[in-house]
A and B are shown apart, each in its own frame.
Chain A
Amino acid sequence: MLAIRNVSKYYGTFCALKDIDLELSHGVYGLLAPNGAGKTTLIKLLVTLLFPTKGEILYNGKNILGLDEHYREQLGYLPQQFGYYKNYSPNQYLMYIAALKGIGKAEAKTRIGELLRLVALEEVAHKKMKAFSGGMIQRVGIAQAMLNDPKILILDEPTAGLDPKERVRFRNLLSELARERIVILSTHIVSDVESIAGEIIMIKDSRILYQETVEQLCQTLEGRVYETLMDYEAADDFRRRVLSLSEKQEQGRLRIRFMADGETDESWQSVRPQLEDVFLHVYRDEEAVTPG
């Protein structure tokens, strides 16, 4: 089990994370927040790239900094900015990372073959990566994260660069992997985690706002989310009164999904809240909200 105890991280006087308390056991955890909220800082703390200013992170009751390589050998990590060597083939690249992960040559060879098959890159295993598309590079990244069959898999914005088909394939893969390990998936794309995350962690104002299941989070908006159909002329005035969650054109009129507290109207149809609604509600004042 991974436990984050009272962790704060400051860069000089700037507070990136404050008093973070989390407990993570097996399953997929969706770390959901807009860009700049502190997701990457939290992840870098978890992979020992950053050191907490205050507090500690424990793995099975022991401080991860003390465990050092014994902790990191349980880790699989795909950073947000996933660098690679253009002149390496996936095979060479993964062999190098396997060495850094302490995997023997023979074992690495077999494992790399399996993983490249899994991410559908077997055909290009010996081609230089400089000719790869963003999606192919990202799949190499996913393969490297899985090299050591990690107990803790941490993926920072893993679906960036993947096309819709690859994203679905990736989600299915993660669901499969999550059975016996902790998977932390950091994203600002709600659909990436909605269907697969056992729990959603939301960060706001440098603190943990929620650590709940998708259902529990949606319940917080129960009875407050509606849809209605209106003329375009009336939309501006309406938006000032409610929080618009999504809008689409329907039969020459505007179908608007919104959140309202207190007042109701007969023309409003109450709908079941979704994670995206919660996200938009929580971060309504934040910029760079990208529901997908």
Chain B
Amino acid sequence: MRIVWMEAGKGLRSPIIIGLFMLFTAFNLFLMLSERHMKDELRVLNTIVAQTGHDMNGEGYEALGEYYTNELAKMNSITQEKIGQTYESAAAFTSSNPQLLDPDRPFTEPEVRFVQDLLVTERYYESLPAIRSQYDSLDMRTRAEVALSIMIDPTSDRVDKLVYANYNKLQDRLEVLREKGEHLHLFFQGTVYKMHSFLYDKLLGIMLLQAMVMGVLMTAQIMNHEFDHRTHLLMYATRRGRRLKVDKLGAAFLTTTLMTIMLLSVNIVAFFEMYDYSGLWDVPIGTGFLQEYDDAPLIPWWSMTFVQYLFAVLALGLVLQWIFAGLTAGIALFVRNSYFVCLLFLLLLGIGLTLFTVVPTTSLLIFWAYINPFQVLFSTPNWFMIKHVFTTYPSYEWMTVSLWSAVLAAGLWVAYRRFKRRDLV
């Protein structure tokens, strides 16, 4: 283990890695700050949840209605007093009084803020019937038909059959979701704030990409450090010999894990410090509020709370980083130059992302073209959920990482055996 830590130090102490880590963290914090204007509105939901809970099935919805009615009454007492009028809704009031903060208007700043908060409450309250009705009429087979019909390249019956079979499974899951009422839980309204894609695409997606860049650089550096510095003749002739590569592989996984955890934890802690999710940790991720575009509900394959989903995403993200480190290490067992190792990894990335473009959509191979870690990496906001027609099936993520891990482990073993018998000149 002493050698593993020493090898890990070569990666972690690298000025490039330290510089990148700081640069990436600064960039991520900047991204987070760029959406900070939503913070106040997001806070309103926590206030509502504190009053009514987030479950809007039955009693929760009634409580929200009662809360909203009371708040509306408060607003009307203010408007009655100040301008001698009452309104049916906060929206009706603000649309007829667009200049609320105008110095000539009689409303104080706290009153205006109260009305703005009520507007947000109203929007949540009024969205619930629409979500209920949308989910009641949802049919996954129709979704599959639409998805297949808008494809540029035609599919074959065999492909369609498999797509329909997968969407039928999603229909089963939808029915369970409806039955449990998972869709009727309050969460930041996706169509307005797009917090799901902000967190899982803009931030986590980019962070995992950043972790991949640093992981690949560190792994290449650790694996080929001796060849890069021409110390290989000395180091591989020591007692440890070529087994040093096993230590290096361990160090590559260790540094990748440490760096990924550090990058994710620093940024995620900062994110949740900035945006208050305190009342929403146990909201089911299948809530209808998650959808960010009209009629594009995000149906998860499993019943998970927000926090469970977050940890599942983080865990999958870490496993992906191990796969990328393993791939880099595998290349480095054949190629001695770190720069070429990184270039070859980039080539693999390119192949992984574009493979589906050369596979005919009439062949079942099109499903396999998506089974690679690079495709998984670039679909973070839809992990464990409905996504592309060829990747919408419950085992997509875990099957991809399991298969690649197994093949990679076998490949690494073969590459190491070959390295052990290779002349080092």
Contacts and interface: CB of A to CB of B under 8 A. Distances in A.
B423 A51 contact: yes
B240 A69 contact: yes
A85 B229 contact: yes
Interface of B: 2-3, 6, 226, 229-241, 243-244, 421, 423-425
B238 A72 contact: yes
Contact of A100 (B233, B240, B421, B423): B240
A196 to B, nearest CB: 23
A49 B2 contact: no
A8 interface: no
B241 A83 contact: no
B234 to A, nearest CB: 6
Contacts, number: 73
Given A50-B424, A77-B234, A79-B234, A69 B6 contact: no
16 contacts: A44-B423, A48-B237, A49-B424, A50-B424, A72-B238, A72-B241, A75-B237, A79-B234, A81-B233, A83-B226, A83-B230, A83-B231, A85-B229, A100-B239, A101-B238, A148-B239
A242 interface: no
A82 B239 contact: no
Given A99-B6, A105-B2, A77 B239 contact: no
Contacts of B238: 72, 75, 97, 100-101
Interface string A231-262: 00000000000000000000000000000000
A84 B421 CA distance: 25
A69 B239 CA distance: 5
A96 interface: yes
A72 B239 contact: yes
A10 B421 CA distance: 15
Contacts of A78: 234
Nearest to B3: A99
B287 to A, nearest CB: 53
A83 B233 CA distance: 8
B2 A82 contact: no
Interface string A36-49: 00000000100111
A69 B241 contact: yes
Nearest to A69: B239
Interface string A70-90: 001101011101111100000
Contact of B241 (A68, A85, A144): A68
A72 B239 CA distance: 5
Given A72-B237, A83-B234, A100-B239, A49 B229 contact: no
A44 B234 contact: no
B231 A48 contact: no
B239 A102 contact: yes
Nearest to B2: A99
A73 B232 CA distance: 17
Given A83-B231, A102-B240, 18 more contacts: A44-B425, A48-B241, A49-B237, A49-B423, A73-B239, A79-B233, A79-B237, A83-B226, A83-B229, A83-B233, A85-B231, A97-B235, A100-B3, A100-B238, A100-B239, A101-B238, A101-B239, A101-B240
A72 to B, nearest CB: 5
Given A100-B3, A144-B234, A50 B425 contact: yes
Interface size class of A (residues with CB under 8 A): 20 to 34
Contacts of B239: 69, 72-73, 75, 100-102, 148
5 tightest Cβ-Cβ pairs between the two chains A and B: A83-B230, A83-B231, A100-B238, A79-B233, A47-B237
Contacts of A79: 233-234, 237
**Most chain B CB within a 10 A radius of its CB, from A44, A49, A102:** A49
Contacts of B237: 47-49, 72, 75, 77, 79
Contact of A44 (B233, B235, B244, B421): B233
Contacts of A81: 230, 233
**Most chain A CB within a 10 A radius of its CB, from B6, B234, B244:** B234
A100 B235 contact: yes
A100 B242 CA distance: 11
A69 B242 CA distance: 10
Contacts of B424: 44, 49-50
Nearest to A47: B237
B251 to A, nearest CB: 12
Contacts of B226: 83
B221 to A, nearest CB: 12
A83 B232 CA distance: 8
Nearest to A46: B237
B226 to A, nearest CB: 8
Contacts of A102: 239-240
Given A105-B2, A148-B239, A97 B234 contact: yes
A100 B230 contact: no
A37 B112 CA distance: 91
B277 to A, nearest CB: 43
A51 B226 CA distance: 20
Contacts of A77: 233-234, 237
Interface string A118-149: 00000000000000000000000000100010
A38 to B, nearest CB: 13
A193 B355 CA distance: 62
Nearest to A147: B238
